[in-house]
């Protein structure tokens, strides 16, 4: 049984607007041109499908291919092939899991980290344009609330044990 506090705040009128905003954000973030602009800004030449997985490994790794596929919403076999390409490029390393030797996990290499850092720096430069008319506190509040919102979607470790 969860011990999370439940507040009876009247949020229902906002749920449709929140859902619409999330759809708009995901749609914008998934546009291929946005990825191309980011990679150009970063000075990175990498297949669009690979760069997304590289960032996934950097953020969540070490991570098994099945878990990575689930996080990015792609088929396991597709992600497995793409992680193998990242491995062959020296950007990730596939290794046995410390928890389960049958599972192969992807972990970022130093070369992969360099590329991920370049992409992060480019993302920050491009984001400044989005937030140029925002007060710094508004950006900080948005970040804090989005992190809280994302946390609410994470599975409770007790439920996955």
- Per-residue tokens: 127: 């984001």
Which SS3 state, helix, strand or coil, does residue 87 take? helix
Backbone Cα Rg of the chain:
18
pTM of the model: 0.77
pLDDT category at 143 given cuts 50, 70, 90 is: very high
Mean pLDDT of the chain: 87
Chain Cα centroid distance, residue 24: 17
Q: Contact, 67 vs 60, CB < 8 A? A: yes
């Amino acid at each position: 049984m969860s011990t999370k506090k439940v507040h009876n705040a009247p949020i229902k009128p906002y749920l449709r607007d929140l859902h619409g905003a999330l759809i708009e954000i995901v749609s914008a973030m998934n546009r291929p041109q946005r990825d191309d602009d980011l990679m150009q800004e970063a000075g990175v030449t990498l297949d669009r499908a690979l760069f997304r997985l590289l960032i996934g490994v950097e953020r969540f790794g070490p991570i098994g291919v099945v878990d990575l596929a689930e996080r990015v919403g792609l088929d396991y076999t597709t992600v497995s092939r793409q992680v193998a390409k990242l491995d062959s490029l020296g950007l990730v390393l596939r290794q046995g899991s410390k928890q389960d030797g049958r599972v192969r996990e992807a972990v970022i290499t130093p070369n992969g980290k360099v590329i991920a850092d370049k992409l992060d720096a480019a993302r920050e430069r491009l984001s400044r344009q989005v937030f140029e008319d925002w007060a710094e506190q508004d950006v900080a509040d948005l970040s804090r609330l989005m992190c809280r919102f994302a946390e609410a979607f994470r599975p409770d470790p007790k439920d996955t044990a």
